[in-house]
């Protein structure tokens, strides 16, 4: 005898949610939006944006702007949350002894940061390599270090050096190489308004400085389309 098929009602978003151990609502499909903000900071920043909106000729009481100061405050907290992170500690969480002394390269790491001069975004890609000297770190820690420094008010030159120095000082490798390619909205949507301009910065230590062949290998690898 054939089994009868039973049709069930589609599961609603509300029905899919389950409460986790800390009382937060969590969908069954594994996706959860988690927003963590510091309330006092949001309040302080929001208060200033009411004045800013008025200063540029807007009406903060207009419907579309009623929650704009709060949204901007939360956005700024997220975009600068790198101040609350310790990049060296991120690397130390996954240090392993390993007899590997060839180049480790993580390329095409997305970079999003804020120019400290105009508070406008600059974004692009970072390429980070190091040559281990008895210790390696988890591959995901390299992009996390990039994010920890990028999510601050920055200039690209300092960002490049900070990533290099953190990896060099923490891992003690034979050498570190960092290249960042980025577009700056402060040059594209204002000022000189050069939409196709891209800024490239580089920073090297150890064997990447001393051995032109190693540096050339790094440049070739970040330029190659291997995937």
Of 25, 98, 117, 157, the active-site residue reads: 117
Instruction: Catalytic residue, from 115, 157, 188, 216: name it.
Output: 115
Residues in the chain: 227
- Residue 20 Cα to chain centre, angstroms: 27
117 included as an active-site residue: yes
Q: In what order do the strands lie in the sheet with 175-184?
A: 153-154, 104-115, 121-131, 175-184, 199-206
CA distance 186 to 208: 32
* Integer angstrom CA distances of residue 96 from 5, 85, 92, 102, 202: 53, 21, 9, 15, 27
The reply to whether 81 belongs to the active site is no
Of the candidates 92, 103, 90, the one whose C-alpha atom is nearest the C-alpha of residue 133 is 103
- Which phi and psi angles does 93 have, rounded to 5°? -70, -20
Distance in angstroms (rounded) separating the CA atoms of residues 97 and 88: 17
Catalytic residue among 38, 186, 188, 217: 186
Active site residue 48: no
Confirm whether 168 is a catalytic residue: no
N- to C-terminal Cα separation, the chain: 53
Q: Are 165 and 130 in contact (CB under 8 A)?
A: no
Q: From the candidates 118, 127, 193, 227, give the one annotated as an active-site residue.
A: 118
Catalytic entry in 77, 127, 154, 156: 156
Q: Which of 165, 211, 224, 157 is nearest to 184 (CA)?
A: 157
For residue 115, indicate whether it is catalytic. yes
Q: Considering 43, 116, 157, 216, which one is annotated as catalytic?
A: 116
Could you list the active site residues? Answer: 115-118, 156, 184, 186
């Amino acid at each position: 005898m054939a089994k009868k098929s039973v049709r069930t009602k589609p599961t609603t978003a509300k029905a899919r949610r389950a409460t986790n151990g800390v009382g937060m609502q969590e969908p069954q499909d594994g996706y959860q939006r988690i927003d963590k903000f510091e309330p006092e900071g949001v309040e302080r920043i929001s208060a200033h944006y009411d004045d800013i909106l008025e200063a540029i000729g807007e009406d903060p009481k207009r419907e579309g702007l009623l929650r704009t100061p709060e949204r901007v405050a939360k956005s700024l907290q997220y975009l600068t949350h790198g101040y609350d992170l310790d990049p060296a500690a991120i690397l130390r969480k996954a240090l392993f002894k390993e007899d590997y002394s060839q180049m480790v390269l993580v390329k095409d790491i997305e970079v999003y940061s804020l120019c400290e001069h105009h508070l406008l975004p600059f974004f692009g890609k970072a390429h980070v390599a190091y040559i281990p000297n008895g210790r390696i770190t988890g591959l995901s820690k390299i992009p996390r270090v990039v994010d920890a420094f990028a999510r601050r008010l920055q200039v690209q030159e300092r960002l490049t050096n900070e990533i290099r120095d953190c990896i060099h000082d923490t891992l003690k490798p034979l050498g570190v190489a960092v290249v960042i390619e980025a577009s700056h909205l402060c040059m594209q949507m204002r000022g000189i308004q050069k939409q196709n301009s891209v800024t490239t910065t580089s920073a090297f230590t150890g064997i990447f400085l001393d051995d032109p062949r190693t540096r050339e290998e790094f440049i070739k690898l970040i330029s190659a389309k291997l995937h």
